[in-house]
Structure 1
Amino acid sequence: MNRKTFRLVVFLAAISIGGILFIQIFWMDKAFDLSNKQFEHNVNLALLNVTSTLCEINQNEILPDPIEQLSSNYFIVNLNNKIAPELLETILKSEFQKREIAEDFEYGVFDCTNREMVYGRYINLKENTISTPASSTFPKLNKDAYYFGVYFPNKTSTLAGEMWIWGFSSLVLLVVVVFFGYTLMAIFRQKKLSEIQKDFINNMTHEFKTPISTIALSTDVLQSPEIINQPERLSQYAQIIKKEATRLQNQVDRVLQMATVEKNTISLTKQPFNINELIDQSIQSAQLNLTNGGQINFETKTPDATISADKVHLTNIIYNLLDNALKYNESIPKVDISTFSEKDKVTITVKDNGQGIEKKDLELIFKKFYRVHTGNLHDVKGFGLGLYYVKMIVEAHNGQISLESSPEGTTFTINLPKS
């Protein structure tokens, strides 16, 4: 599947999931709204019957539009006469049970003679327990008539609980969305690994092809009968074959080594040594690759920087950092390396004047096989294993490595414990 088709499939899948989520939320909202309207309708009918019964007992006429809904869970009923709380409670219970309203409620009665609220009771219809004093304060309204109020404190939670089937379906849908997201992440990760693997194979092919071709050409020259009479030329081509064979062997060893190097499987042979001496040796090896007046400067702020570590691996990581500083440089290379020793650790910094690393590559620079994209250019050799190896070795020694980069250059900082 090419990149364009893959993106189209991912886009359509995301649109489908988004559409399902929208429909689910839409119908949940509609269902809740319908349940709410049904509840309010039943309450209005029940309160209308309560009003009719009270007016019939008091021999009063029903006021026009006696029921007012002040909020989604608070209703008041206007009357022309006094209201007996005990009688009101009995009638309210009866009418609510007829309408199958099992929601807990509170009621309060306003007496316009004393202009005060006579509080009623909190009633639990589900458990049919003894009524208790009202737990909430009913607001005092600017009215001259008698009225009583009915308040449903748990209305929203009760209606939501009755929609359990919608909650279950939403949970199932959420699981599907999470699974889809995880699958999508796995696909992206697998695709990225596939691209990295492809780049690695291309780089490896390019790296191996050059020394093999050089060896093949040198062998053809050595097979020529005239080469026996030219000892200097014979020695020159023999050295070329040896150099390219060594280079090829080093590449193979690096690939085989990195295939098994992981943080928890690295075998370290630790011994005490002065890190400054090791850096001096690495600089001498790296200076063989210096051209065009490049230079490597070494400064130590602590002459005695003895640590206990694997000398071979640390030599490799110092050389890798120096080699990268020289390779990835379009101008005259200048590398500054320094060490600083503290009580329990040694700090090593390697600073170059190269082109720097872009911000988008900084988080990936230590990944296995990752190389900064340079288009189709192959002027800098490598498999993308060097910095991965450096990070693994540093962490295997319980150390830390960090970097800072700008267009003026890159600085690597390594902190290693002394013991």
Structure 2
Amino acid sequence: MNRKTFRLVVLLAAVSISGILFIQIFWMGKAFDLRNKQFEHNVNLALLNVTSTLCEINQNEILPDPIEQLSSNYFVVNLNNKIAPGILEAVLKSEFQKREITEDFEYGVFDCANSEMVYGRYVNLQENETSAPASSQFPKLNKDAYYFGVYFPKKTSTLVGDMWIWGFSSLVLVIVVVFFSYTLFAIFRQKKLSEIQKDFINNMTHEFKTPISTIALSSEVLQSPDILGQPERLTQYANIIKKEATRLQNQVDRVLQMATVEKHSISLTLQEFDLNELIGHSIQSTRINLKGGGNIHFEPGTQPLIIKADKVHLTNIIYNLLDNAVKYNGRNPEVFVNTTIQDDNYVISIQDNGQGIEKKDLTLIFEKFYRIPTGNVHNVKGFGLGLYYVKMIIEAHHGQISVDSTENGTTFTITIPKNQ
């Protein structure tokens, strides 16, 4: 599947899932509104019957539009006469049960003659219990008629609870979305690994092609009958074959070593040595690669910096970072190395004056096989294993490595605790 087709499939899948989510949310809202309207309709009918019953008891006429809904769960009923709380509660229970209204409610009665609110009760229809009102005071309304108020404190939670089938379907949909998201993540990751594998094979082909071609050419020269009469030339080509064979062997060993490290935990051989001395030897080895100018600056302190670590691995990672600072510089390399002790940690910083690393690559340079894209140019050799190896070794020492880069250069900072 090419990149264009892959993006189209992902886009269509994302649009489909978004559409399903929108439809689910839309119909959940519609269902809730429908149940809410049905509840309000039932309450209005029940309260209308309550009003009719009370008016019959008081032998009064029903006022026009006696029921007012002040909020989604608070209703007020206007009457022409006093209201007996005991009778009101009995009639409310009866009418609500007829309308299958099972929500708990509170009622309050206002006596216009005394200009005071006579509180009713909190009624639990399911358990047939009453208690003092749990809500705040019913508001005093500017009305001339007698009235009572009915408040449903748990209306919303009850309606939501009755919509359990919608909740279940929403849960299933969430699981589907999570699974879909994980699948997309796995697909992107697999695609990324496939691209990394492809880049690795290309890099490996370039890395192996040069020594193999050199060995093949040198072998053809050695097959010439005239070479036997030229011992110096014979020795020269023999050394070339040995050098390229050693280089090829080192490349193979590096790949096999990384595979072995991944399968087994890294075994460190800890020993005490002078960190400044080790860095000094690594700098001497790296200076051989300086061509056309440049320098590596390092001023160790007068006192030895004794560290307990794996000397072989630590030498490899210091040399690797120094070698990268020279190879990827793009200018006359000026590298500055510094060692300090901060908060019981050994801190090693390696700063160069190169062209820097783009932000999008900074978080990827420590991944296995990753190399900063250079198009079709392959002027710097490598498999993309160096910084991955560096990070693994530092973490095996319980340390950390960080990188900071600008257009004026890059700084790698290694922190290793003194107590391993």
Distance 2:392 2:262 in 1: 7
Unaligned segments of structure 1, at least 5 residues = none
Matches within 5 A, 1:319-334: 319-334=319-334
Distance 2:65 2:301 in 1: 92
**1:161 corresponds to which letter in structure 2?**
G
* Residues 301 and 338 in structure 1, CA contact (< 8 A), matched pair in contact too: no
Q: What is residue 358 of structure 1 aligned with on the other side? A: 358
- Corresponding residue SS for 2:142: coil
* Residues 302 and 340 in structure 1, CA contact (< 8 A), matched pair in contact too: no
Please identify, of 342-351 and 327-336, the stretch whose mean Cα deviation from structure 2 is larger. Answer: 342-351
Distance 1:94 1:290 in 2: 98
Check 1:263–1:364 CA distance in 2 against 1; reply closer, same or farther (3 A cut).
Answer: farther
**2:299 corresponds to which letter in structure 1?**
E
Q: What is residue 301 of structure 1 aligned with on the other side? A: 301
Q: What is residue 388 of structure 1 aligned with on the other side? A: 388
Q: CA deviation at 1:262?
A: 3.8
Q: Does 1:38 align with 2:41?
A: no
Q: CA deviation at 1:303?
A: 2.7
Distance 1:261 1:128 in 2: 71
* Residues 337 and 351 in structure 1, CA contact (< 8 A), matched pair in contact too: yes
**1:132 corresponds to which letter in structure 2?**
S
Distance 1:56 1:329 in 2: 99
Q: Does 1:133 align with 2:132?
A: yes
Check 1:302–1:47 CA distance in 2 against 1; reply closer, same or farther (3 A cut).
Answer: farther
Distance 2:264 2:119 in 1: 73
Q: CA deviation at 1:286?
A: 1.0
Provide, for residues 274-332 of structure 1, a one-character-per-residue CA deviation record: whole Å limited to 9, x for no partner: 11111121112111111101211111236311111111111111111111011001111
Distance 1:58 1:222 in 2: 127
Matches within 5 A, 1:171-320: 171-262=171-262, 265-301=265-301, 303-320=303-320
Q: CA deviation at 1:416?
A: 2.1
Matches within 5 A, 1:404-419: 404-419=404-419
- Corresponding residue SS for 1:261: helix
Check 1:210–1:36 CA distance in 2 against 1; reply closer, same or farther (3 A cut).
Answer: same
Unaligned segments of structure 2, at least 5 residues = none
Provide, for residues 127-162 of structure 1, a one-character-per-residue CA deviation record: whole Å limited to 9, x for no partner: 112x22222211000111111111111111111110
Identity %: 78
Distance 2:414 2:103 in 1: 68
- Corresponding residue SS for 2:121: strand
Distance 1:304 1:257 in 2: 32
Please identify, of 258-267 and 217-226, the stretch whose mean Cα deviation from structure 2 is larger. Answer: 258-267
Distance 1:57 1:270 in 2: 98
Matches within 5 A, 1:27-106: 27-106=27-106
* Residues 290 and 326 in structure 1, CA contact (< 8 A), matched pair in contact too: yes
**1:368 corresponds to which letter in structure 2?**
K
**1:300 corresponds to which letter in structure 2?**
P
Distance 1:135 1:280 in 2: 80
- Corresponding residue SS for 2:299: strand
Could you state the TM-score of these two structures normalised by the residue count of structure 1?
0.97
Q: CA deviation at 1:358?
A: 0.6
**1:21 corresponds to which letter in structure 2?**
L
Q: CA deviation at 1:343?
A: 7.1
**1:298 corresponds to which letter in structure 2?**
F
Q: CA deviation at 1:351?
A: 1.0
**2:131 corresponds to which letter in structure 1?**
T
Distance 1:344 1:263 in 2: 32
Q: What is residue 15 of structure 2 aligned with on the other side? A: 15
- Corresponding residue SS for 2:51: helix
**1:111 corresponds to which letter in structure 2?**
D
**1:199 corresponds to which letter in structure 2?**
D
Distance 1:329 1:263 in 2: 34
* Residues 73 and 151 in structure 1, CA contact (< 8 A), matched pair in contact too: yes
Distance 2:197 2:70 in 1: 68
Q: What is residue 26 of structure 2 aligned with on the other side? A: 26
Provide, for residues 68-103 of structure 1, a one-character-per-residue CA deviation record: whole Å limited to 9, x for no partner: 111111111111111111111111111111111111
- Corresponding residue SS for 1:208: helix
- Corresponding residue SS for 1:21: helix
Q: CA RMSD in A?
A: 1.4
**2:159 corresponds to which letter in structure 1?**
L
Q: CA deviation at 1:261?
A: 1.8
Distance 1:412 1:88 in 2: 81
Q: What is residue 368 of structure 1 aligned with on the other side? A: 368
